[in-house]
């Protein structure tokens, strides 16, 4: 596998080796020793999967306790995946970055604890899988507003299309108000 640095400190884009032929393909999605060697030393406690329809936006999520590192990937369809650095001591504090993950490029993204994370479904549907380093804790979950102008995420929404949002995501906090990490 190839591991690429991104414009956000500690966020890594992982390009797995994909072996394919007329029957289909095979790829290794997790091996602790290889990921540790690549600087991702994570013990996962929970796996999640979501299926969403086009222009659904899930995010920008974080947990203030039981903070989660996430290894994310798409098994069907395509998403625009975005992160915002909320770690005050980070050299990229307050910055965002996004990339396309899909079932053709097979890329994975490592999102360390201390970042807000979200996805926009860009295909008719998408299946999104992620491994988490801690369990989901509803009382500790917070949401950064997906469209906060202070952050300025450039979501690839077509003109005139509004994203489908959960009630929780509609009430996202501004960057000024959302929880920050040391």
Instruction: Kindly list the catalytic residues.
Output: 61, 130
Distance CA 145, CA 13 (A): 24
Half-sphere exposure of 114 (CA within 13 A, CB side): 17
CA 14 to each of CA 5, 69, 92, 161: distance values in angstroms, whole numbers, following the listed order? 9, 15, 20, 31
* Closest C-alpha among 25, 62, 50 to residue 130: 50
Distance CA 118, CA 157 (A): 14
Strand partners, 3: 14
CA 148 to each of CA 90, 91, 96, 144: distance values in angstroms, whole numbers, following the listed order? 20, 21, 11, 8
CA 123 to each of CA 36, 99, 100, 145, 169: distance values in angstroms, whole numbers, following the listed order? 32, 14, 11, 23, 20
């Amino acid at each position: 596998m190839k591991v690429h640095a991104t414009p956000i400190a500690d966020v890594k884009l992982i390009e797995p080796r994909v072996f394919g032929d007329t029957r289909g393909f095979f790829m290794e999605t997790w091996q602790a020793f290889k990921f540790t060697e690549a600087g991702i030393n994570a013990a996962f406690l929970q796996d999640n999967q979501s299926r969403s329809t086009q222009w659904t936006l899930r995010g920008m999520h974080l947990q203030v306790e039981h903070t989660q590192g996430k290894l994310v990937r798409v098994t069907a369809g395509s998403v625009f995946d975005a992160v915002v650095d909320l770690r005050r001591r980070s050299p990229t504090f307050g910055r965002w970055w996004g990339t396309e993950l899909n079932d053709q490029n097979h890329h994975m993204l490592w999102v360390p604890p201390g970042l807000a994370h979200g996805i926009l479904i860009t295909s008719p549907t998408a299946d999104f899988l992620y491994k988490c380093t801690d369990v989901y804790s509803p009382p500790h979950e917070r949401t950064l507003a997906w469209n906060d102008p202070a952050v300025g995420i450039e979501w690839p929404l077509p003109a005139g299309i509004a994203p489908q949002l959960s009630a929780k995501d509609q009430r996202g906090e501004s960057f000024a108000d959302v929880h920050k990490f040391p």
